[in-house]
Chain A
Amino acid sequence: MDYAIETQGLTKVYRNGTRALGGVDLQVPRGVCFGLLGPNGAGKSTLIKALLGIIRVSAGTATINGIDFKSPQAREGVGYLPEGHAFPPYLTGRGVCRYYGQLSGLRGPALEREIAEKLEWVGMADRADEKVTKFSKGMKQRVGLAQALLGSPRVVFLDEPTDGLDPIGRAQVRDVIRNITSAGTTVFFNSHLLSEVEQVCSELAILNEGEVLHRGKTGQLVEEMGSEETGVLVEFTTGSVPDELWTTLAERDATRLSDGFSLALNDREEIPDLVDELRAASVPIYAIRPQEKTLEDAFIQLLRSAEPTPDAPEVPA
């Protein structure tokens, strides 16, 4: 299969011995939004920088659009929004786009049209001619996204693209990502905001300590994590619970909430029985909410499962 991004054994060990990437094998299909998740320090940004030649890898190979990632040609048709970017302070929003567009080989009227279009996409057309030093963090982020999309790149690396954006801004970014992926662009989405990833990415990988813990469809992880567990957590919003009944519930590890309680049941089928018990005790029931497993749950569960057990011998890095 022809992948937009493919890595094999990508390794980065710094001079001080820190291993940032420990042989990353990854395949990113074309035309998808691919999420890269991981805790802080997992190596997410390092992986992107390695792919873009910003840092030098210690071992391994990779291709972007089928071209060896070490060649400057591999970065043709690639957009990039780094985390914590700093634009030249002497440029305007439009100037930023023009400069990086020129560095990407764009020029002339086509570049100007591209700039106008992409700034419109991110909602910065009105303030494009102001100095970037006057922009808020969110506005800089929008301009950053605009410059990353110049020239209709085939692959776009977005490192924490919603960082600093308000809810409306985040929604705009999500729309933009959906639009470009639907047009065939591959988006490599790096974020620690799992909900964002969950909403826009169809595939994802979880990186931890420089190694890929999981790779697959977005729902697949939740399903896999869900299948490993039994029972369901249910929240009950109720009126006052008599002490006798509460004693019984407490024995079943129920947790008291401000307006009710939550209780882990072995099966959803146990819910009607519990409702009967509450009714029998004349407890008013206002709401019953079985808690679904989220990506976050799955993510945390995955990371915990990856942690070495106290008894197990430590694996040297």
Chain B
Amino acid sequence: MSAFLAIVADTWRQSRQQMVFILMLCVMSVIVIGAIAWPDPMTPRLTQRTLSMRAFDSVSILPETTAPRGLVAADLDGDGEPDLALLDSSGLRVWKGAKGEFTPGPTHAETGDAVGLEAIQVDGQGGAELVLFGPEGVTILRYTGEGFELMGTGCAGPVSDLTAADLDQDGDLDLICAGPAARVWFNEGAGVWSGGPTLGELQHVATGDLDADGDLDVVGSRGVEVLGWKTEGKTLAAPEILTKTRSAILDLATARLMGPGQPCVVLTSRVKRMDFFVHGTTRWVSVAARPASTPEVERILVTDYNGDGVDDLGLFTRSVSHQSELWPTVLKGGLNPQFGGPVQLGAEARGLSAVYRLPGEKYPRIVGLEGFEGIDIPLYGVGNNALFEAEDASWRQTYYESLMFLKARGTDHKELSQREAMDLAVIASGERTALERHAELLAIKSGKLLYTFSMIFFIAACSGYFPGLLREGGVDLVLARPISRLKIYLGKFCGGLVLYALASTVASGVLVLGIGIRFGSFPVTVLAMIPLQVFTAAVMFSILAAIGVVFRSTALPLMFGLFFYLAVDTGLGLMIQVQTESNVFGDGLLGKSVEWSGVLLPNFDLLKFSAQAAALKLNQLALRPMLTAGAWLIGFLAIGYWRFRSSDY
């Protein structure tokens, strides 16, 4: 055994320089691949497509207003139709909605110094309540249809922003109030409020399950800082600074920009305009930024504007020289949010706008101070850039299942490519967050390139292993030892292969590490490619070893190996694919030859494909090419050993 290990170790020593060479090239490949494939998260990634958009009408439904401070659209009277409420200098006014028409309702003049208005379902029944907030805290009013009924007050102290969420998961919406002394107020039901954790000074607040742990978390802005609190029941963890901007934050929201699952934190500021943040597995990552076309976005209204099941952004400005914009997200497999548009809303849509959805309508309507409604932005930008071009029945089945899954979730994605559908299915199923999936796919794509490059490096390195063993004057010293030729041959073979496996693992590890550090998600599934990668290397090495033993030349196996791998990998793979899909070569001798060559020759392309599938956890092993390659491996090992055993040296 020690003699066998000595042969293995000698292969490593023989390859010491080549190993360094291989590792260097592998690592370099990773870096190059990374530079090419890894997008800079801070660079805007916008789809430059022209969105077809149904012209929407501007309808004046509201009288002129002075000093507007709040505008909401919600079902206030519990009739299922959205109503409108406006807070301005004259007080609180309501317009009752019916089939898209609004009729003036009562006015509530005693609004004090309220600076903002929200519609929140506080009591869990009927319509939403109107929550006014300002320096004097919070006032909750119930709209009765005829007038207003005071439900209570709360949140002692000034409130500059407010949001509602069931943080303690007791079925009631709780209030998170921003202000000089921000605080959570838990709704105990029946108009009873209890003060929860204090959050310090905050200007804006939002909630969302940011770390995908099933609990809603709180995010808020303090000057230029964005802070996050993880919640557990009625307790909040210590705040974590998620990011800092270069100027004061104007608004903050959470949105599912990357499909179902984990939301992003979206914020605007005067200098940086806009950032999207996702909580990765270890840290917060800025995944996209919007170009600075609209300054001073003061309100972000997040909803599904184009009916594709994914949140879009409505960015509203008060600037008279700029228009508010809609930025519909274009769903691309749930990866980095990519945005179509923007859709200019015109100068009429100011910071105080609201969005509502009429029963039975796919698209929401926007109400600004002068009123807008009816936009239609269809889903765009999902061309078939399938990663898995070489589709077969099993891939189609996976695709089909993915679509069925999405359909069952009520998402219509007929135009999605296979990969996009699968990505969405994976994300929607909760197996991965969008960011994890993004990192995973990036790693797999890079890993596939690494696979090809490392094979070429390995061919270059291993071509000399056996000729080196058999060099004149050297082989005698090995054969004269008390070790069988079988052990010598296998020792050399295993030595080279283990070396390759180690090099591949190291390179893949670097890849995982690099992507992990960059995106906060370590796509370890890419390591699942290694077994098939090593298997492919074993097949190639068995061929080169046999050639090396027969001809005792390094150049010959090197040239043959490169030609064989590249020709079979690309040429044959392509021919077989073309023949299978289009029968280009006909049913005659040529066509049959191509078909049979696919059976008789190892198809490295399909092996690589299977490795990729293994990394994607799709369980799509291409069995036939594996059997063929296995037969070649055994056959050439036998040929090489037979020649080695029967030769005189």
Contacts and interface: CB of A to CB of B under 8 A. Distances in A.
Contact of B473 (A76, A85, A103): A85
B7 interface: yes
8 smallest A-B Cβ distances: which pairs? A86-B473, A102-B6, A55-B648, A103-B481, A80-B480, A82-B476, A52-B480, A76-B482
23 contacts: A49-B476, A53-B479, A54-B476, A55-B648, A72-B482, A72-B484, A73-B482, A75-B481, A82-B480, A84-B472, A84-B473, A85-B477, A87-B477, A88-B13, A88-B14, A88-B474, A90-B17, A95-B13, A99-B10, A102-B2, A102-B9, A103-B7, A103-B478
Contacts of B396: none
Contacts of A122: none
Sort chain B's interface into a size bin: 20 to 34
Contacts of A78: 480, 482
B471 A86 contact: yes
A211 to B, nearest CB: 20
B14 A99 contact: no
Given A53-B479, A80-B480, A103-B7, 8 more contacts: A52-B480, A84-B472, A84-B473, A85-B477, A102-B3, A103-B6, A104-B481, A105-B2
A208 to B, nearest CB: 21
Contacts of A178: none
B649 interface: yes
Interface string B623-647: 0000000000000000000000010
Interface in B1-44: 2-3, 5-7, 9-10, 13-14, 16-17
B483 interface: yes
A99 B3 CA distance: 9
A85 B476 contact: yes
B505 to A, nearest CB: 24
Interface in A31-56: 49, 52-56
Interface in B459-515: 468, 471-484
B3 A75 contact: no
Given A75-B480, A90-B13, A54 B648 contact: yes
Most buried by A among B5, B7, B9, B648: B648
A56 B477 contact: no
Nearest to A55: B648
Contact of A99 (B6, B468, B471): B6
B138 to A, nearest CB: 79
Contacts of A121: none
A298 B586 CA distance: 81
A87 B468 CA distance: 11
A302 interface: no
Interface string A54-77: 111000000000000000111110
Interface of B: 2-3, 5-7, 9-10, 13-14, 16-17, 468, 471-484, 646, 648-649
A107 interface: yes
Sort chain A's interface into a size bin: 20 to 34
A99 B474 CA distance: 12
B554 to A, nearest CB: 14
A102 B477 CA distance: 12
B644 to A, nearest CB: 12
Nearest to A108: B2
Contacts of A116: none
Contacts of B649: 49, 54-55
Given A54-B649, A82-B476, A88-B474, A72 B483 contact: yes
Given A55-B648, A55-B649, A100 B477 contact: yes
B479 to A, nearest CB: 5
Contacts of B481: 75, 100, 103-104
Contacts of B477: 80, 82, 85, 87, 100, 147
Given A56-B648, A75-B481, A103-B7, A82 B17 contact: no
Given A56-B646, A99-B6, A103-B481, A80 B476 contact: yes
B472 A105 contact: no
Contacts of A54: 475-476, 479-480, 648-649
A104 B474 contact: no
A20 to B, nearest CB: 10
Given A82-B473, A85-B473, A52 B479 contact: yes
Nearest to B474: A86
B476 A90 contact: no
Nearest to B13: A90
Contacts of A263: none
A86 B472 contact: yes
Interface in A83-116: 84-88, 90-91, 95, 99-100, 102-105, 107
Contacts of B484: 72
Nearest to B17: A90
Contacts of B17: 90
Most buried by B among A55, A75, A102: A102
